[in-house]
């Protein structure tokens, strides 16, 4: 799998679910529908060939692998925030 195979929106959906713990709250945070979050997560898992969530009684429960990946995702988003801050400083 190449990084180009992943879409940022898929990673954002993963991050939102890890942060908010439910698809409903993740969807609200992202400003999209619950089915859209489920679709993004399914595509993300398919592209990475890894199940990051167990589906039980209509809920998505994060796996150990999801927690390991979440740490890396948070580092990546921190990097994005630093880029935005640097751009603002350059502009100012």
What DSSP string describes 21-69? Answer: SSHHHHHHHHTS-HHHHHHHHHHHHHHHT---EEEETTEEEE-HHHHHH
Q: How confident is the model at residue 69 (pLDDT cuts 50, 70, 90)?
A: very high
What tokens were used for 58? 């209509």
Residue 1 has pLDDT above 60, yes or no: no
Whole-number pLDDT of residue 2 = 55
Residue 4 has pLDDT above 70, yes or no: no
Q: Please report, for the chain, the start and end positions of each structural domain, with discontinuous segments joined by +.
A: 3-91
- pLDDT tens, position by position, 6-65: 899 999 999 999 999 999 999 999 999 999 999 999 999 999 999 999 999 989 999 999
CATH class of 3-91: mainly alpha
Model pTM score? 0.86
Classify the phi-psi angles of 29: left when phi > 0, otherwise alpha if psi is within -120 to 50, otherwise beta: alpha
Count of Cβ atoms closer than 10 Å to residue 88 Cβ: 9
């Amino acid at each position: 799998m190449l990084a180009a195979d992943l879409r940022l929106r898929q990673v954002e959906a993963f991050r939102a679910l890890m942060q908010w713990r439910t698809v409903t709250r993740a969807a609200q945070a992202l400003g999209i529908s619950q089915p859209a979050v489920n679709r993004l997560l399914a595509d993300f898992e398919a592209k990475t060939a890894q199940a990051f969530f167990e589906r039980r009684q209509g809920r998505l429960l994060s796996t150990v692998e999801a927690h390991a990946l979440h740490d890396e995702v948070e580092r990546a988003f921190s990097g994005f925030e630093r880029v935005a801050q640097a751009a603002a400083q350059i502009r100012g």
